Amino acid sequence: MKQFLEKVYTRLRSTDTTNFLIKIGIQVVLLFIGFFFQPFVIVAAAMLVLFMIFENDVKSFYYIVFFYCFTSGFIYHTYDLFYVPVVFFVVMHVCRYLITVKFRVHKDVLFVSVFVLSAYFVLAQLIGRPDFERVGMAVHLLFLLFVCVKNLDKLKLEAVAFFLAGGILLSSLLGLFRGLIPRLSLVIPEFEGRFSALMVNPNSLYMIVLCAIAAILVLNVQNKMNKYLFSGVFAALTVIGIATLSRAFILIYFLLVLAFGLVKVLKARKNKVELKKTLLFIGVLCIAVTILFLIPPFQAIISRFASLTNLDSQQSVDTLYDPGRWGLWKLYIETWASSAKNIIFGLGFASPIGPNGVKATSAHNVLVVLLAQTGLVGLALFGFMLFCVFKSVSSARRFGLDTWLPALALIGFCMVETALFKFTAYLFVVLIMLCMLPLNKTNETSI
User: What per-residue confidence (pLDDT) applies to 168?
Assistant: 92
**Predicted pLDDT at 169:** 92
User: Taking 70 as the threshold, does the pLDDT of residue 180 lie above it?
Assistant: yes
Q: Is pLDDT larger for residue 274 or for residue 427?
A: 427
More confident residue, 73 or 130: 73
* Most confidently predicted of 141-145, 160-164, 218-222, 299-303: 160-164
How confident is the model at residue 354, as a pLDDT? 66
Q: Are 405 and 214 in contact (CB under 8 A)?
A: yes
Question: How many Cα atoms within 13 Å fall on the side-chain side of residue 439?
Answer: 11
pLDDT of residue 301: 60
What residue spans define the domains of the chain?
A: 15-442
pLDDT at 39: 81
Residue 172 has pLDDT above 80, yes or no: yes
Q: What are phi and psi of 198, to 5 degrees?
A: -105, 20
Task: Provide φ and ψ at 317, rounded to 5°.
Answer: -115, 110
pLDDT band at 407 (very low <50, low <70, confident <90, very high): confident
Q: What is the mean pLDDT of residues 151-155?
A: 83
Q: What are the pLDDT digits (tens) for 51-70?
A: 877 777 788 888 888 988 88
Give the mean pLDDT of 316-340.
72
CA dihedral 233, 238, 239, 242 (to 10 degrees): 160
- Choose among 45, 125, 24, 135: nearest CA to 89: 45
Whether 307 has a pLDDT exceeding 60, the answer reads no
- pLDDT at position 259 is 84
Whether the per-residue pLDDT at 308 is higher than 70: the answer is: no
pLDDT of 27: 84
**Mean pLDDT confidence for 405-411:** 80
Q: Say which residue, 121 or 182, is predicted with more confidence.
A: 121
What average pLDDT does the chain have?
Answer: 76
The DSSP code sequence of 290-359 is: HHHTTSHHHHHHHHHGGGTT--S--EEETTEEE--HHHHHHHHHHHHTTSHHHHHH-S-SS---SGGGPP
Whether residue 408 has pLDDT greater than 60? yes
pLDDT score recorded for residue 312: 40
What's the pLDDT score for residue 166?
92
**124-138, 240-254, 313-327, 389-403: which has the highest mean pLDDT?**
240-254
